[in-house]
Amino acid sequence: MKNRFFNLTTLSILFVITLAFNNISCNKDESDKDQLAAQNNSDAENAFSDVFKQIDIVSKDTTLGVLGTINISCATVTMSPIGLTYPKTITIDYGTTNCEGTDGRFRRGKIIAVTTGKYRDSLTSITVTFDNYFLNDNKVFGTKTITNKGRNTLGNMFWTIKVENAGVITEKGTIAWNSVRTREWIAGENTLNNYFDDGYSITGNGSGVTTDGNSFVITITKALKASLSCMWLTCGTVEITPQGLSTRIIDFGNGTCDREATVLINDETYNIVLK
C-alpha cells in the first residue's frame, strides 16, 4: 500500500510538472510570435524619417534664406537670422490643431532646427528638437542630430544621423527609440527645383523599448530606401531582436510606395501596416 501511495504521488507530481512545462513552452511559443517590437520600431523609424523629410525640404528652399519665412503644407517656416550669419534657427510651426498635409498625415506643434552652416556644406550640423510636436496624434520627442560628412567614395553626399533620448508617445504607451544612421543621397541631387525625386539609402543600428516595456536592438541588414515622394520606407530589411526572444526580420518591400511590410519570425511571415 505504501509503495502504491508513493507511485501515485510520484505520478501526480510528474503530471503537474509536465503540465507546467507545457504551459511555459506554449506561452513562450506564443510570445515568440509577438510582433510588437517590429511594429513599434517601424512606427518610430517612420516618424523620425518623416522629421528628416520636413527638415530636408525647408533646408533646400533658397527663398527661406532670403525672406526669412515661407509657407509649406500646413506650416509656417521661419529662419533667424537671415543672411550669412550662423548658427540659424529654423522653426516649422504646424499650429496647435491638427492639419492634414498633402501627404495625408496630420501634424501639429513645432519642429525646431539649429544649423551651423549651409545644408550641403561638409561638417554642417543640424540639431533638431520638438515643441509639443505630434504626427498622426502621436507625440514625437527627443533630439536628432544631422551632420553633413561630405561625399563618400561613390561621390554621393551623405550625413550621419543620431537620434537620442527619443521616442514616440502613442495611445498604447511610449516607444523609446535611439539610433545611429548613415543617410546617403543617391538620387535627385542635380534637380534643384524638384525635391520629390530625391532618394536616400540608409544604414545603421539602434535600440528601443516597446510600449509594454520590452527592450530590443536594431540592425539594418539591407539598406533602407527612402524618397521624398513616398511617406514610407520602400525597400530594405531590418533585424529586430527583443530581449529573450528570437530575431525578427522586417522586410519593407521591393521599392513600391505602399504602407505594407512583412515580419519573419521563426520561419513564419506576418504582415504589418506602416503608419
**Count of Cβ atoms closer than 10 Å to residue 192 Cβ:** 9
Is residue 185 scored above 90 in pLDDT?
yes
HEC profile for 30-56? Answer: HHCCCCHHHHHHHHHHHHHHHHHHHHH
Closest CA to 49 of 132, 116, 140: 140
What is the mean predicted confidence (pLDDT) over 82-97?
96
CA distances, 233 to each of 125, 130, 189, 206 (Å) = 24, 22, 19, 17
Which of 42-51, 163-172, 265-274: highest mean pLDDT?
163-172
Is residue 195 scored above 80 in pLDDT?
no
Residue 13 in any domain: the answer is no
Whole-angstrom distance, CA of residue 104 vs CA of residue 108: 13
What is the domain range of residue 134? 34-273
Fill in the DSSP letter of residue 212.
T
How many domains does the chain divide into? 1
Whole-angstrom distance, CA of residue 217 vs CA of residue 186: 27
Residue 111 in any domain: the answer is yes
Whole-angstrom distance, CA of residue 115 vs CA of residue 61: 14
Residue 22 in any domain: the answer is no
What is the mean predicted confidence (pLDDT) over 158-176?
98
Closest CA to 53 of 63, 45, 62, 64: 45
**Count of Cβ atoms closer than 10 Å to residue 162 Cβ:** 17
CA distances, 178 to each of 41, 109, 219 (Å) = 10, 22, 12
Residue 238 in any domain: the answer is yes
Fill in the DSSP letter of residue 4.
H
Q: What is the pLDDT of residues 22-72, one digit of tens each?
A: 444 444 455 566 899 999 999 999 999 999 999 998 988 888 988 999 999
The answer to whether the CB of 28 falls within 8 A of the CB of 43 is: no
Residue 17 in any domain: the answer is no
Q: Give the HSE-up count for residue 45: Cα atoms under 13 Å, Cβ half-sphere.
A: 32
Q: Calculate what percentage of the chain has a pLDDT beyond 70.
A: 88
Residue 9 in any domain: the answer is no
Residue 50 in any domain: the answer is yes
Q: What is the pLDDT of residues 209-262, one digit of tens each?
A: 999 999 999 999 999 999 988 988 999 999 999 999 999 999 999 999 999 999
**Count of Cβ atoms closer than 10 Å to residue 240 Cβ:** 25
Q: What is the pLDDT of residues 221-235, one digit of tens each?
A: 999 999 988 988 999
Burial class (CB in 10 A: 0-12, 13-18, 19+), 30: exposed
Residue 40 in any domain: the answer is yes
Residue 11 or residue 116, greater confidence: 116
Which helix (DSSP H) or strand (DSSP E) does residue 237 occupy? strand 235-242
pLDDT band at residue 143 under the 50/70/90 scheme: very high
CA distances, 202 to each of 167, 206, 252, 259 (Å) = 19, 13, 13, 18
